[in-house]
Structure 1
């Protein structure tokens, strides 16, 4: 069979520098999935962007050819004019980008941005395009396609925005789909459903796919061919099955060793004392008012959290897992005082074991500033949380300046100390954030959060955008800092393998409710709730003999109406969180 896309001896450089991509060659056949695997900086994304010719201006092609054998006949993409390339982009080749907020216009509704593909390439009228887009939204997992259609990007969570990007790339049914880390920002159940959707679309349309990823579990479930890249070159390539069973190159084996996995043997945590709690959430609910799409329509209410009860032990880690929109981040923001709970909810914080509990939800402005010295947050996207116009020294010292702590020399000394703590050198203080890799920027975000010497750190998906080897370094760093500084972590994640490693207790959230809570050894090896079972089943493993069970994922992650009767809940009927064994609670009807 003639390949749909052939890349031969491709080399790319920036300016007059040495090539960052060197002599890369691969082929993709119709209906086939090729996985480009490697760490950040290995040249995966640059290689894929060269296919669509959307490289930065400084980039130049040293050598190589890119041949497309699509429905329009053979085309040498490197030789086409810009006008001809515009017909290729979107029609013959689509691309899903990793960071949806940078790719979506903040001024236009999501539905209009996705429909634009059909207006431009399909010459469709608005009504026909709207119908197709709504169907596509439903297929990529939007719970309310109509609401998503009329929403702006800032009104959606990170996972929801990524679903919109996937819909935008798929709606025109291209010959080739290039997916650059398409599921990095998604929770595992949505990831499993989206991967299943991509496979289904491939079967229906014969579409080929290039999948750029650092997740070997995704590769094992999706790819027929694998190309492993490192520092711009191809280390190993070939059919997925023999390569995943017995990787020949040392670098490929290193990626396998760094891949997180839920341990086969449960890690049984010792019973935790209940007398030294640093943080408590009692009966916390949060309701938001959603404006109507039309002026004559009534506003609607959305319950982000419903009756959440958490207790975090000092020096321990409580992990909150769940799909996008389950209320994880809202609960964390309430814990930090960034949001106020609905009437009746309480947030209690004790800075030390001897201190009196303070009611975070009732703090004055001055008291809240003092509380923020004790509780800090590490965000999901380190590039967005560091100002691109501030040197690292200024970014690290800013919290000390706000709180009026220390002299200029003392602040610099503290900044140097924090950089050493996170494994970076003081010589990096005068650089800007763009000069660092993703893993280094996340280390800088952790250093900034530690500048005030907090006792509580809220980590909101701190490793989700990192490759497996860098993720391993950050997790090890967080464990070392916790032990050295006696920190307490509220850890938010959708990656169960990460949670299994770092957490002392895990709370599973769905629809604003905690549906199951237990130590990781109990939760992952004796799950009771159908949604917890779906989360575990959806975790991709780098084992070609253990594919994701999409039926189990769909039943557990679907509507509560599909669950066994004793687990079902609705807006009017919510079962209690019942203790089924010591330390193990499940939301069910007794």
Structure 2
């Protein structure tokens, strides 16, 4: 009988004198197997995995339990290993992909040096050989220009790109066990599908085992042989993936299933057309940046978006979908006046049906102040957008103070009212942001955006970092607020299941251009463009019998020069956006 590669027995972990946050957790991982640890934030998944590598916070204390790692006929008890012994295991025999790549990568060192360090430390590999292997790994995790990534610093990369670099670092030494802590949370669905395929390929090549920490049941269905479901520090359900996903027995597992967003299988009735009352209109918007180059090299010109035309109808939601680097956020920043478009592009805004149309980038100072009240933004990372030094009361009243609205008491009452609107208690006004969970912080960001009574809300990936049940709550909240206040949303996302739920119109962007545009009921049931098809195919479903079609994903996620003839283009010389049926536009030749 084959011995488990890793065996966790009766593990309990606590902080100080408080009750244990992980209680009597047991599971085992067989060689070459993928075990999924499933649960929401705070369920104890990550701290359990950190205990395996002895990288718990200083205040954490292991109350009881044993963790045995068995390989090549030898076994060792990981909790009793010295620091020196653990250094030989970490990164070499057991690697970990962390959820937040910016906090795990050194801002002072180039990515190539950081990833190759593993090979120099554990394999004593010459620098040239290590560089060759790292560049190959960069290519495999989906970097289009590995040589440029080698020389880049983490802050020069998008969140998705940094996550790919973390995955490359964990995989380059081909460990026996890979612990992947939400490895695809920050990634686009096409990149996620490719990364999951890459992990599977590496498993076949090297026999590597994987512990996959996730809250996404679609990812579990595509990856795992065994599933362990955790809630509030305890294991509530475990078993083979087909059994747990096919017939969940515990109420908590059923709740996770109910909250999982999915593209609906039946098309809804077509929404009524009518584009008379536009609140926002982007016309021929392009944006190019000039990047500095080292040494004697010429500066490089990068096109973030090219001739984008988007119209948002009042009271409706326009979703812009695409992967990292597709130009979504650049368009949103231009729409809010935070970036200037290139010559020839303009953004028109009309806050009220009877008001004059305003050109956002030609506004006077007075008009700009007025516009900033009427258009607000909800950011992707609520923790970074809330000041850690300001209490929530001050955070919510500050925008009203800046715009000179109301008395101190009125501003305080408005802040309390906005908290009630987003489902939080006004007593929370005295707290600091660190006292809130991720979902609560996102609610606070929405409450702050609403304090000025805006008419337009730009939501930049507002649910991408949240658990499925919290994501469901935030989407319900956004829908309710839109309907109650008559708001218009420009909704930026890479998740088609979320977009299918909230959008009235969807524009799909790829490498700076809109490749397809239609209402969701048309787009999801008659996608024409290979990239749109790839996005839909890459959406993981919590069904082991419906795996991701990686071949279809690879076609659409490849370079535009490799697409089928009708859609192919080089650089920004794309074919025109053509109306193929009423309300359905596709970028194609003739």
Is TM > 0.5 for Structure 1 vs Structure 2?
A: yes
* Partner SS, residue 525 of structure 1: coil
Higher mean Cα deviation, 568-577 or 441-450?
A: 568-577
CA distance in structure 2 between the partners assigned to 1:320 and 1:268 by the alignment: 22
Map Cα deviations across residues 306-352 of structure 1 (whole Å, 9 max, x no partner). Answer: 00000000010000111111111111111111111111110111111
Q: Which residue of 1 aligns with 2:79?
A: 78
Q: Which residue of 1 aligns with 2:131?
A: 130
Aligned positions of 1:114-125 closer than 5 A:
114-125=115-126
CA contact (8 A) 2:306 2:572 kept: no
**Shift in Å at residue 71 of structure 1?**
4.6
Q: Which residue of 1 aligns with 2:223?
A: 222
**Shift in Å at residue 254 of structure 1?**
1.0
* Partner SS, residue 185 of structure 1: coil
CA distance in structure 1 between the partners assigned to 2:505 and 2:281 by the alignment: 14
**Shift in Å at residue 285 of structure 1?**
0.5
* Partner SS, residue 203 of structure 1: helix
Q: Which residue of 1 aligns with 2:501?
A: 501
CA distance in structure 1 between the partners assigned to 2:115 and 2:343 by the alignment: 39
CA contact (8 A) 2:33 2:225 kept: yes
Q: Which residue of 1 aligns with 2:585?
A: 585
Q: Which residue of 1 aligns with 2:296?
A: 296
CA contact (8 A) 1:268 1:522 kept: no
**Shift in Å at residue 365 of structure 1?**
4.5
* Partner SS, residue 442 of structure 1: helix
Aligned positions of 1:443-458 closer than 5 A:
443-458=443-458
Q: Which residue of 2 aligns with 1:60?
A: 61
CA distance in structure 1 between the partners assigned to 2:20 and 2:302 by the alignment: 51
Q: Which residue of 2 aligns with 1:272?
A: 273
CA distance in structure 2 between the partners assigned to 1:7 and 1:284 by the alignment: 55
CA distance in structure 1 between the partners assigned to 2:489 and 2:130 by the alignment: 46
Higher mean Cα deviation, 369-378 or 319-328?
A: 369-378
**Shift in Å at residue 366 of structure 1?**
4.5
CA distance in structure 1 between the partners assigned to 2:390 and 2:93 by the alignment: 41
Q: What runs of 5+ residues in structure 1 fail to find an aligned partner?
A: none
**Shift in Å at residue 567 of structure 1?**
0.7
CA contact (8 A) 2:285 2:306 kept: yes
Higher mean Cα deviation, 91-100 or 260-269?
A: 260-269
CA distance in structure 2 between the partners assigned to 1:365 and 1:136 by the alignment: 50
Q: What runs of 5+ residues in structure 2 fail to find an aligned partner?
A: none
CA distance in structure 1 between the partners assigned to 2:479 and 2:320 by the alignment: 17
Q: Which residue of 1 aligns with 2:385?
A: 385
Taking structure 1 as reference, are residues 279 and 72 closer, same or farther at Cα in structure 2, changes over 3 Å only?
farther
**Shift in Å at residue 446 of structure 1?**
0.5
Q: Which residue of 2 aligns with 1:8?
A: 9
Map Cα deviations across residues 496-521 of structure 1 (whole Å, 9 max, x no partner). Answer: 11100000000000010000000000
CA contact (8 A) 1:272 1:313 kept: no
* Partner SS, residue 248 of structure 2: coil
CA contact (8 A) 2:175 2:208 kept: yes
Map Cα deviations across residues 376-398 of structure 1 (whole Å, 9 max, x no partner). Answer: 11111111111112111111112
**Shift in Å at residue 493 of structure 1?**
0.8
* Partner SS, residue 130 of structure 2: helix
Q: Which residue of 1 aligns with 2:149?
A: 148
CA distance in structure 2 between the partners assigned to 1:155 and 1:72 by the alignment: 44
Q: Which residue of 1 aligns with 2:483?
A: 483
Higher mean Cα deviation, 301-310 or 367-376?
A: 367-376
Q: Which residue of 1 aligns with 2:336?
A: 336
Q: Which residue of 2 aligns with 1:371?
A: 371
Q: Which residue of 1 aligns with 2:171?
A: 170
Q: Which residue of 2 aligns with 1:320?
A: 320
CA contact (8 A) 1:319 1:506 kept: yes
Map Cα deviations across residues 45-72 of structure 1 (whole Å, 9 max, x no partner). Answer: 1111111111111110011001111359
Aligned positions of 1:454-469 closer than 5 A:
454-469=454-469
Map Cα deviations across residues 178-207 of structure 1 (whole Å, 9 max, x no partner). Answer: 111100111100000000000000111111
CA distance in structure 2 between the partners assigned to 1:144 and 1:379 by the alignment: 28
CA distance in structure 2 between the partners assigned to 1:83 and 1:391 by the alignment: 43
Taking structure 1 as reference, are residues 128 and 350 closer, same or farther at Cα in structure 2, changes over 3 Å only?
same
CA distance in structure 1 between the partners assigned to 2:552 and 2:275 by the alignment: 36
Aligned positions of 1:22-101 closer than 5 A:
22-71=23-72, 73-101=74-102
CA contact (8 A) 1:392 1:430 kept: yes
CA distance in structure 2 between the partners assigned to 1:100 and 1:419 by the alignment: 31
CA distance in structure 1 between the partners assigned to 2:364 and 2:71 by the alignment: 64
CA distance in structure 2 between the partners assigned to 1:569 and 1:451 by the alignment: 45
CA contact (8 A) 1:268 1:519 kept: no
Q: Does 1:432 align with 2:452?
A: no
Q: Which residue of 1 aligns with 2:417?
A: 417
* TM-align CA RMSD: 1.1
**Shift in Å at residue 369 of structure 1?**
2.8
Aligned length: 589
* Partner SS, residue 247 of structure 1: coil
CA contact (8 A) 1:269 1:504 kept: no
* Partner SS, residue 580 of structure 1: strand
**Shift in Å at residue 112 of structure 1?**
1.6
